[in-house]
Structure 1
Amino acid sequence: MAQKYIAEIKPLNEEAIGTSAHGTATFTVGDDAIHIEIEMFDTPKNMQHWEHFHGFTDGTDAQPATMAQDVNHDGVVDLPETEAVSGTTMVPFDAQPHQMDIANDTYPVSDDKGYFKYVKHVPLEALKAQFKEVFGTDELDLDKRVVYIHGVPAELKLPDTAGGNLNEKYDNHVTLPIAVGKIQSVK
């Protein structure tokens, strides 16, 4: 029997980015696949948005970041600041989540209203094998994870202190979190 999980995704950094991105992520885990649907509204328009689940490798229950995580008080919660409560980036919701290739250009693109819907059927065995190779366990523990949606326009002025540059190829505009939600099991 399939197990279902849902995350209500709420805005983060809305004051700095000028929009309140929100939506829902649904995960249905069957015997051989995980079906993922993420529907987002009011994201920055006409741009690619990275999205992932984050968590801890030691079994700690990840929590969504809030403005309380803005430890340098620059007005934004950047990717490094989320790690204390949310852990590390784990599985991308891109063209091939089971490959766990975080830095790529195959994430969803929002339309001119800031809307996008991501739907993917992922082979569970392949995802668990790659997860084990990277994190040492094949337990996805979805109910201990949080979903992040990232990305603001390159022309948006961010504080110099906003971190998150990834491999010098992707700057903090790509990685800035814009929404987050706690994944919860549906009984």
Structure 2
Amino acid sequence: MAKYKANIVSLNANKIGTSAHGTANFTEDDDQLTITIEMFDTPANTQHWEHFHGFPNGKAADIATSAQDTNHDGFIDLMETESVSGTTMVPFDDAPENMDIPHNRYPVSDANGYFTYTKVVPLATLEANFEKAFGSKDLQLDKRVIYIHGVPKDLNLPVTVAGMVGEFDAHVTLPIAVGKIERID
């Protein structure tokens, strides 16, 4: 059994009006991965995409900070996180093992900005799909970071905030919180 944890801290809080924070726990046990995420003070009544990000070559990912705001618009958008955090890898949605990322099947926060997410994932299926996408079945959770995304559609974002993924615009993909995943056992 292997256990991992991420303390999730706010990102873009000064621009979105909330300081999202929480924790994520991961337990690999035999043939399953149990994921539990609890978030507080996210934008209320909003769907929140959540994923782990990383580098396919196994380089350790770091969390984005204001230093990644390369266009100096005051927002750290999805594209700006890639230099330190890598690419989006595994979604925390209704079926993480399928690695289907752009859709509307992610948690929605309540009126207080709270949500919790728990999913037991078949590890063999996830590893097989991860290998197809990234060339290795080793998830290397301790080299990944977790991002929580999503702000209300009525939040005024400058045109410089990038993050269009298919039909989903920067309101869906804007990072609101981030945490480094660390092995704890």
TM-score band (shorter)?
over 0.9
Name the CA distance, whole Å, in 2 between partners of 1:106 and 1:160.
26
C-alpha displacement of 1:32:
0.4
Map of 2:15 onto structure 1? 16
1:104 correspondence with 2:103? yes
Give ranges in structure 1 of 5+ residues lacking alignment.
none
C-alpha displacement of 1:59:
1.1
Give the residue type in structure 1 aligned to 2:13.
E
For the aligned residues, what is the CA RMSD?
0.4
Q: 1:179 aligns with which of 169, 177, 180?
A: 177
Map of 1:88 onto structure 2? 87
Q: Which aligned segments of 4 or more residues in structure 1 are displaced greater than 4 angstroms?
A: none
Give ranges in structure 2 of 5+ residues lacking alignment.
none
1:52 correspondence with 2:51? yes
C-alpha displacement of 1:178:
0.0
Give the residue type in structure 2 aligned to 1:93.
F
C-alpha displacement of 1:159:
1.2
Name the CA distance, whole Å, in 1 between partners of 2:89 and 2:58.
13
SS in 2 for 1:85: helix
Give the residue type in structure 2 aligned to 1:144.
K
For residues 72-151 of structure 1, the aligned pairs below 5 Å read: 72-151=71-150
- TM-score normalized by the length of structure 1: 0.98
Name the CA distance, whole Å, in 1 between partners of 2:111 and 2:173.
21
% identical aligned pairs: 62
- TM-score normalized by the length of structure 2: 0.99
Deviation per residue, 1:47-81 (Å, 9 max, x gap): 11000000001111000000110000000000000
Map of 1:162 onto structure 2? 161
